[in-house]
Amino acid sequence: MQDAFTISPLGDGALLVSFGNVIDEEVNKKVLQLFQQLENQRSFIQDLVPAYSSLTVYYDVLALHTKETSAFERARELLLPLLNQIETNDASPGRDIAIPVCYAKCFAPDLEELAVQKNLSPAGVIQLHTSRSYRVYMIGFLPGFPYMGKVDSRIATPRKRHPRLAIPAGSVGIAGEQTGVYPFASPGGWNIIGRTPLPLFDSERKEPVLLQPGDNVTFYPISEDAFENY
């Protein structure tokens, strides 16, 4: 493990543990295992932010800084033993969550264009999008927005050149090899191919954010009636 990661300062009170710059399930498991380990020993940690292949650690500068050692150097010393013990098969398994999606034209402004670009029918795009399980790699951009992957290479497509000013909550999109769901109405540049009636963020729930990194998501198609009556 010693050569498989880097630790670098990130401002005055944080550091970045990076395992590379990739979308890879095994790498993401390392990130989440480190996250889980540090969650259990918060003596000097103020916040943790997991991403695809990195973990940002915000630490208490005053608790770590000494005359001999900077806070960053001390935090690095404390992290190294944990990093050298990571085994990806020890990572906690994620939950399996199925999300209903209506792919009707009124909810899918980019579905037909994507189908034409990929020499597929809209039904073919839907079949490929619903045919596999997606790992939630990280939550970001908006509270509860899941970055998931990877989509079938036959429907992978770049973000739109000109983002929309308003995308409705629940919109399901594709950007590159990723798929995601907008938990709130928001500007955005993902290619929208459907919409779910399932709230991904609900402040009334004990856990407001529905999905967590490490979860496994499948999508299944529903009708417009089912969407309206969900």
57/122 same-domain check? no
pLDDT of 57 reads: 96
pLDDT of 1 reads: 41
Range of the structural domain that residue 147 is part of: 96-228
Indicate the SS3 state at residue 33.
helix
1 in a structural domain: no
27/107 same-domain check? no
12/115 same-domain check? no
178/65 same-domain check? no
- Per-run averaged pLDDT (10 residues), the chain, 230 residues: 78 93 91 89 88 95 87 92 74 87 98 97 98 96 94 97 96 97 97 98 91 96 97
11/39 same-domain check? yes
Residue type, 229: N
Residue whose structure tokens are 């608790």: 63
139/60 same-domain check? no
109 in a structural domain: yes
Residue whose structure tokens are 């900077």: 70
Residue type, 206: K
Structure tokens given for 214: 């490490």
- Cα separation, 134 vs 27, whole angstroms: 15
Q: What is this structure's pTM? A: 0.88
Q: Sort strands 216-222 and 96-102 into parallel, antiparallel or unpaired.
A: parallel
16 in a structural domain: yes
64/142 same-domain check? no
Judge if the upstream peptide bond of residue 150 is cis by omega within 30 degrees of 0.
yes
71/162 same-domain check? no
What's the total number of domains in the chain? 2
pLDDT of 84 reads: 80
pLDDT of 4 reads: 84
79/101 same-domain check? no
* Residues ≥6 apart with Cβ < 8 Å to 15: 7, 8, 9, 56, 57, 59, 72, 75, 76, 79
**Domain boundary, last residue among 66, 90, 114:** 90
pLDDT of 44 reads: 87
52/138 same-domain check? no
